[in-house]
Chain A
Amino acid sequence: MKPSIDQELIHRYLDGELDPAARVDLERRLAAEPGLRQECDQLARLGKMLQQQPAAPEPPYPDFFNAHLLRQIEQEQAETGAVSAAGSAGRDWFGWLRLPWLVAAGATALAVFSLVRIDGPTGPAPDPGRTSVVSTYAPEPGISSSVYFVDSAGATVIELTGLDDIPDEQNVSGRDLGSHESGRGLAVTLLDTSGRPVAALMADLEDGAPVFRPLSPGGQG
């Protein structure tokens, strides 16, 4: 059974798919033709009833829905080494920072992208502990960084301001953030309060662009 022209008109009218002129025409006919009006009214009542179904009921455990999904994405990225939807966006160099153990400090604590240069043999005389930080980039709004050399400690310090407070139960302490030279580049190591490394951010400078690699918590990557 194919719909008649009138039936098709009624469906399109009720669905808001008629152009204004056709709508006016049909409304004129509906006013004059009781049979057509009745058919239209019945269909409208059916539609009104169907529309009582919820259009967007929350799935069970809606918060967990998001958390579970984002965790899957992070795991997938960690396993494949793939970056996120950005494909190449800088923020995702730091995706590992969203690991649960870094939630408090993690969102921003190391989200400072630093271009670092270790003075080599051809450069000026090495100054132990002194690292030349070319530039820094903090993707999080409200976070700023400053770099200075502390003579008494013989260390270059990258200081981040604007971070969230770190809760007491969080084992990672900002003051234990340290750095050391490794092979071709630099690794910034995040230490917990007992001095154990929990993660490292590595910059490989030989290929021209820094490559950051997270290490697994507590060990080597």
Chain B
Amino acid sequence: MPRPTAEPRPATREDGESEPHDRELVARCQAGDMRAFDILVTRYRGRIYAMVQNLVRNETDAWDIAQEAFLKAWRALPRFKGDAAFYTWLYRITHNVAYDWLRKRRIEPGIEFDDTVRQDQIDPAGRTAPRPDQRPDAGMINRELGDRIRAAMNKLSADHRQTIFLKEVQGLKYHEIAAVMECSEGTVMSRLFYARKKLQELLRDTYEAIH
């Protein structure tokens, strides 16, 4: 069974009305409507932030880089012709900003950063302590699983990590990933193949145990 793709779509409000489509919002931005840009930022900030964090693996830097990406997008919007979907265009800008940052910081692929807040660092009596929305054992399994996935992903090169993230987590098609990463679809497929092979080695015990 093929996996469903998860293309970003305009949200549907609680009243059932659809939010404006990206094309409409982009046109409004190009006419100078900053409120339209505000809506686009709200719509995509989570995806952009996740994409950047997957690359730089640091919450604070990811926040700043995501800001820079949106700022560059705003500056470039007058030249956006709509040949590609807005979100792939935005992803490409973000990708370039994040890679520029990686180059400047000379972060070698494979160096691990761990920003994960450990559970034992959280005061259970604290007012802002996370609320247990699920069974404690289920939450623990998800946290452990998330940690293992992150650790395995961190062992991939930046290119492989980005490719697998855009495919598996963001649900982009091959041609969209190729457009974002400015490479051929063949390169996308090759990166996916090697990334999955590596992740299978690293995570085999994990996914075979829980499924």
State the A residues within 8 Å of B (CB): 1, 3, 7-8, 11-18, 23, 42-60, 62, 65-66, 68-70, 72-73, 76, 83-87, 89-92, 95, 98
Q: Give the chain A neighbours of B47 by CB distance below 8 A.
A: 55-56
Prevailing SS type, chain A contact patch? helix
The residues of A that contact B1 with a CB separation of less than 8 Å are: 44
Residue of B32, B42, B142, B203 with highest tally of chain A CB at under 10 A: B32
Task: With A15-B167, A49-B145, A55-B47 as known contacts, state yes or no: A60 contacts B63, CB within 8 Å.
Answer: yes
Please tell me if B200 contacts chain A, counting CB pairs below 8 Å: yes
Query: What are 20 contact pairs spanning A and B, CB under 8 A?
Result: A8-B193, A11-B192, A15-B3, A17-B173, A23-B2, A43-B200, A49-B203, A49-B206, A52-B149, A53-B165, A55-B170, A56-B50, A57-B46, A57-B50, A58-B49, A68-B67, A69-B70, A76-B71, A85-B30, A85-B78
B189 beta carbon closer than 8 Å to chain A: yes
The answer on a CB contact under 8 Å between A72 and B208 is: no
Q: Identify which of A57, A68, A85, A90 contacts B29 (C-beta below 8 A).
A: A85
CB distance from A100 to the nearest CB of B (A): 14
In the assembled complex, the CB of A155 is this many whole angstroms from the nearest CB of chain B, namely 31
Q: Which residues of B lie under 8 Å from residue A83 when comparing CB positions?
A: 32
Distance between Cα atoms of A7 and B200 in the complex (Å): 14
B66 interface contact, C-beta 8 A: yes
**A59 smallest CB distance to B (angstroms):** 4
Question: Is B211 a contact of A45 with CB atoms below 8 Å?
Answer: yes
Q: How far is the CA of A211 from the CA of B4 in the complex (A)?
A: 53
A23-B2, A69-B70 known, 5 other contacts, Cβ within 8 Å? A16-B4, A45-B207, A45-B211, A46-B207, A62-B46
How far is the CB of B55 from the nearest CB of chain A, in Å? 14
Binding site for A on B (CB under 8 A): 1-6, 8, 29-34, 37-38, 41-42, 45-47, 49-50, 59, 62-63, 66-67, 70-71, 74-75, 77-78, 142, 145-146, 149, 164-165, 167-171, 173-174, 189-190, 192-193, 196-197, 199-200, 203, 206-208, 210-211
Please state if B37 and A65 are interface contacts (CB–CB under 8 Å): no
A72–B32 touching, CB < 8 Å: no
Q: What is the CB-to-nearest-CB distance from A30 to chain B, in angstroms, rounded to a whole number? A: 10
Asked if residues A50 and B169 are in contact (CB atoms below 8 Å), the reply is: yes
A90 touches B71 (CB 8 A): no
**Which 9 residue pairs across A and B have the least CB separation, nearest first?**
A89-B32, A56-B46, A86-B32, A85-B77, A59-B49, A50-B168, A16-B2, A91-B32, A92-B32
List chain B residues, Cβ under 8 A from A46: 196, 199-200, 203, 207
Complex: how many Å from CA A78 to CA B37? 18
Residues from chain A with Cβ under 8 Å of B31 in the complex: 86, 89, 91
Which residues of B lie under 8 Å from residue A1 when comparing CB positions?
A: 197
